Amino acid sequence: MTRPNDKYHGVWPVMLTPFDDDGEIDYGSLAKLIDWYIAAGVHGLFAACQSSEIFFLSDAETQRLVRFVVDHVAGRVPVVASGHTAAAASQQIDQINAIAACGVDGVILISNRLAMPAEGDDRVLRSLERITAATDASLDLGIYECPYPSKRLLSDEVIRWCAASNRFTFIKDTCCSLPRIRQRLALVQGSRLRIANANSQTLLGSLQAGAHGYSGVMANFHPDLYVWLYEHWRDSPETAERLQNYLSVAALAETLSYPVSAKDYHTSIGTFASTRCRAREANGYFTTHEASTMRQMLALGEDVKQALHLP
């Protein structure tokens, strides 16, 4: 069966989860966040991922969160989500089917859940075979090379299997290596599988090589710049190179107490009511020095937009 895959391209922010001061999900702020992403022109949303603090949500919370995102988006952009956090394969299948029932366009598997760190590709492939057999054949699947709790990069063998399966449509690539991305693009050529680079420093080079988009944490700060780069790197190559230079340096801010830093930013613009996190203690963790650095990075981004005459 032939199914359209044009939806799996462009800029896909990894969504934050806003919490109130009591640590409960703040759905009012979540609605504002969704509208903020869409107003920036993003092409899709990745809900229930590591930026969403998925490992610190219960399965019931994750499902409510994803349903809310799907309902509030209301078809304006496609939505994928994970929820694939369990250790046992049987529980993982339950999680995947529950997220699929929330109405998402695709369910994203977490690569480090497919095998233990010391296990090889044979175990990964067995897990993939079991999951695809136990889920509806019409369900689009993806894989995210999530660095928490351990990072498992996909081998050529696994990517080749996913491409040939006709079930996998989305890889959130965190290899941070342009030669490796080029190799992966060759492996998926002619298949339904699309590769979204999570690494800002290699983004323009990966787009020039044929990558299908961006899905990284910096889209929680200035998604409009990533949208411009994706949509205009061909027709404005010199401007794209200059913008890439800024985005590459700005992305070094990922190391500054994320996701608290992103929540601090969204509090400053009125999207969020609180910087509360579950993954990290917000109070006392995100220093005033880090906050100042982030604000200067974002202010410089506004200067870059003006200098490059970007909308």
* 172 assigned to active site: yes
CA 74-273-299 angle, to 5 degrees, is: 90
Determine the residue type at 77: V
Among the options 172, 214, 246, 263, which is catalytic?
172
Q: Which residues of 56-68 are buried (b: 16+ CB within 10 A; e: fewer)?
A: ebeeebbbebbbb
Q: How far apart are CA 240 and CA 235, in angstroms?
A: 9
CATH match of 10-235 with 3.20.20.70? yes
- pLDDT, tens digit, 9 for 90 and up, residues 78-105: 999 999 999 999 999 999 999 999 999 9
Where do we find the tokens 């200059």? 242
* 258 assigned to active site: no
Q: From 122, 116, 198, 189, select the one nearest 155 (Cα to Cα).
A: 122
Among the options 8, 32, 37, 144, which is catalytic?
144
Q: Where are the domains of the chain?
A: 10-235
> pLDDT at residue 2 above 50?
no
- pLDDT, tens digit, 9 for 90 and up, residues 141-160: 999 999 999 999 999 999 99
* Mean pLDDT across the chain: 95
- pLDDT, tens digit, 9 for 90 and up, residues 12-52: 999 999 999 999 999 999 999 999 999 999 999 999 999 99
Q: How far is C-alpha 283 from the geometric centre of its chain's CA atoms?
A: 26
Could you tell me the pLDDT band of residue 6, with boundaries at 50, 70 and 90? confident
- pLDDT, tens digit, 9 for 90 and up, residues 266-311: 999 999 999 999 998 755 678 899 999 999 999 999 999 999 999 8
Could you tell me the pLDDT band of residue 1, with boundaries at 50, 70 and 90? very low
pLDDT score of 282:
58
Query: 199: which strand partners?
Result: none
